[in-house]
Amino acid sequence: MASSGIETILERIHAAERPDRADLSRILRIADPVEMASLTGYADAVRRRFVGNGVLLRGIIEFSNVCRNTCQYCGLNRRNTRLARYRLSRDQILTAVQNICGAGIKTIVLQSGEEDNLDADWLREVIAGIRSFLDAAVTLCVGERSREEYRIWKEAGADRYLLKIETSDPGLYRGLHPGMSFENRTRCLEDLAALGYQVGSGNLVGLKGQTVASLAGDLEFFKRGGFDMISVSPFIPHSQTPLAGEPAGDLEMTVKMIALTRILCPTAHIPASTAIGSLHGRDERPRALAAGANVIMPNFTPGDVRRLYDIYPGKAGCDLTPQRGVAAVERMATAMGRWVDYARGDALRLTRTAPGQDSPREASSDAGLAKALYN
Ligand code: 5AD
């Protein structure tokens, strides 16, 4: 009986334009394994219907670990003086791009810390260099920048941008990000959407001070933002941060958040993140894939600097060559009755009618996103 009650709530959440806070909180408080199975089963069915059985691959290159920020959870924070800093050259990046291309992957993710003096023209040339020999999607994940920089990179050929909100709770946000502001974060997301990027956001689960209410708020933020990609991943404590002694994010809560994200945002691309593959030294990415996720991001950062991209400890796949990382994903997907999709995997609103979907979602206008984020 309990599970049919759960399904009624899930139906309501799935259908709602503005989900009810009490419904979200009720689901986030699930403790019973039967109810948990109903939740993940429902999310899995939504995933199958809206994005199908393919697992999309994104090849990630972490090209610099230099960062100006002091985010309280992140090992790259500038106060971590024990960490040797690096930045790859254009040629090193292009070599890694060729490896991604050689593996048949058609999305390149360029990620870095938030460098103070990142040269916008340098990055523009890297993007243009990639686009000159490769018809692959380029995704940037280089933090908060000016609208002008976002425009330059879009014009050079960047397609997508990832900028997690980390938490949508303004008080929590302030405490975790000294010197940064929630307003600038949302300004960036609005600029990116207005410039025509496919936009990704997301959060961390298990941050100190985070409550069920703030997680429900994150889900509402995802729904309002109409994001094309949403990454939900567990916090993992890093010794060289102020949160060193805090417990890691809870796996079950992370899985619940992924499932609810899928139910609320049926066409979004949702990764089984590397962090969920790293929690407590076990690879729990299959749990994410079974609860709504449809993307995996194999690491193509060159081996000699890879361990320096030290966001959190014990990063999964750090010791694997890219080829072995991709082979592991192939095995994981196949074992679950899924398959690895080597397509570009653009936002569904730009491509096709998803399996089982009646009509493509309307592209959200920039004004719409701006309004939505502040409502
Ligand atoms: N645990 C898990 N994820 C983290 N990130 C940063 N620090 C941690 C941590 N300690 C994530 C942030 C950021 C992404 C690049 O890495 O969500 O957006």
Output b/e per residue, 341-360; b: 16+ Cβ within 10 A.
beebbbbbbeeeebeeeeee
Query: Is residue 366 situated within a structural domain?
Result: no
Q: What's the CATH number where 179 sits?
A: 3.20.20.70
Query: Is residue 319 situated within a structural domain?
Result: yes
The pLDDT tens digits of the residues spanning 181-190 come to 999 999 999 9
Do residues 373 and 187 lie in contact, with contact meaning Cβ atoms separated by under 8 Å? no
Does ligand 1 lie within 6 Å of residue 73's CB atom?
yes
Instruction: Read off the pLDDT of each residue in 224-253 and give the average, rounded to a whole number.
Output: 98
Which range marks the domain in which residue 58 is found? 4-347
Pocket test for ligand 1, best of 201, 233, 274 (most atoms within 8 A of CB): 233
Do residues 35 and 2 lie in contact, with contact meaning Cβ atoms separated by under 8 Å? yes
Percent of the chain with pLDDT over 90: 89
Looking at the CA of residue 141, tell me the nearest atom of ligand 1: 15
Query: Is residue 352 situated within a structural domain?
Result: no
Residue 74 burial by CB count (10 A; 0-12/13-18/19+): exposed, middle or buried?
A: buried
pLDDT of residue 30: 98
The pair of structure tokens assigned to 308 is 């320096």
Does ligand 1 lie within 6 Å of residue 233's CB atom?
yes
pLDDT of residue 280: 87
Count of structural domains within the chain: 1
What is the C-alpha separation between 70 and 226, in angstroms, rounded?
29
pLDDT class of 353 with cuts at 50, 70, 90: low
* Separation of CA 358 and ligand 1 centre (Å): 36
Does ligand 1 lie within 6 Å of residue 309's CB atom?
no
Q: Are strands 137-141 and 198-205 parallel, antiparallel or unpaired?
A: unpaired
Query: Is residue 369 situated within a structural domain?
Result: no
| pLDDT > 60? residue 285 | yes
Does ligand 1 lie within 6 Å of residue 312's CB atom?
yes
Q: How many CB atoms lie within 10 A of CB 89?
A: 11
Instruction: Read off the pLDDT of each residue in 279-297 and give the average, rounded to a whole number.
Output: 96
Looking at the CA of residue 73, tell me the nearest atom of ligand 1: 10
Q: How many CB atoms lie within 10 A of CB 149?
A: 18
Instruction: Read off the pLDDT of each residue in 158-178 and give the average, rounded to a whole number.
Output: 98
pLDDT class of 351 with cuts at 50, 70, 90: confident
The pLDDT tens digits of the residues spanning 195-233 come to 999 999 999 999 999 999 999 999 999 999 999 999 999
Q: What is the mean pLDDT of the chain?
A: 93
- Reduced to 3 states, what is the DSSP secondary structure of residue 127? helix
Strand order in the sheet with 107-112: 59-64, 107-112, 137-141, 160-162, 198-205, 229-234
56: left (phi over 0), alpha (psi -120 to 50) or beta: beta
| pLDDT > 50? residue 160 | yes
Does ligand 1 lie within 6 Å of residue 74's CB atom?
yes
* Separation of CA 340 and ligand 1 centre (Å): 25
Does ligand 1 lie within 6 Å of residue 110's CB atom?
no
* Separation of CA 249 and ligand 1 centre (Å): 12
The pLDDT tens digits of the residues spanning 58-99 come to 999 999 999 999 999 999 999 999 999 999 999 999 999 999
Query: Is residue 354 situated within a structural domain?
Result: no
Query: Is residue 372 situated within a structural domain?
Result: no
Q: Which amino acid is at 132?
A: S
Q: Which of 71-75, 101-105, 174-178, 357-361 has the lowest mean pLDDT?
A: 357-361
The pLDDT tens digits of the residues spanning 26-49 come to 999 999 999 999 999 999 999 999
| 113 CB-near residues (< 8 Å, 6+ apart) | 64, 65, 66, 67, 68, 69, 76, 143
| pLDDT > 50? residue 256 | yes
Query: Is residue 265 situated within a structural domain?
Result: yes
* pTM of the complete model: 0.93
Q: Which amino acid is at 155?
A: E
Query: Is residue 55 situated within a structural domain?
Result: yes
Residue with CA nearest ligand 1 atom 3: 235
pLDDT class of 371 with cuts at 50, 70, 90: very low
